[in-house]
Amino acid sequence: MTQDQLYQLYSEANHGSPPVPRASLLSFPSLNFDIYDDGSTLVNRLFYVLPLPGKSSLFIFFQDNSFTKDSQGDLSLVDSSLNTWNPQ
C-alpha cells in the first residue's frame, strides 16, 4: 500500500477530515521493534497510532522494513511496506 492510499483510508475513517497532515503521517511511530534477526537479515516493524476524533477511536497501521546486514552489522534496506492493522 502506498502512503497516499494509507492517507486516503485514514481520511475516510475519520469522515474525510483527518487532523494529521499528510506530511506528518509517518513522523511519529508509537512502537519500534525487530520481529526477525538471523544475523544477516533483519525485519523491523514500526507501529503508528493516529487519533480518529470523529469516531473517538484510533487508526493503527504499521510499516515493515526488511534489511540485509553486512559483517560489520551495517544495514541496507531491501523492502518496506505499509499495512493497516486489523486485530479481528
Q: How far apart are CA 62 and CA 43, in angstroms?
A: 13
Q: Which residue has the higher pLDDT, 24 or 37?
A: 37
Residue at 13: amino acid letter? A
Return the pLDDT at 73: 87
Give pLDDT tens digits for 49-84. 988 877 778 899 999 999 999 999 899 999 999 999
Q: How far apart are CA 3 and CA 11, in angstroms?
A: 12
Closest listed residue to residue 43, CA positions, set 88, 83, 86, 87: 83
What average pLDDT does the chain have? 89
Residue at 25: amino acid letter? L
- Contact, 29 vs 55, CB < 8 A? no
- Contact, 36 vs 28, CB < 8 A? no
Q: Band the pLDDT of 28: cuts 50, 70, 90.
A: confident
pTM of the prediction? 0.82
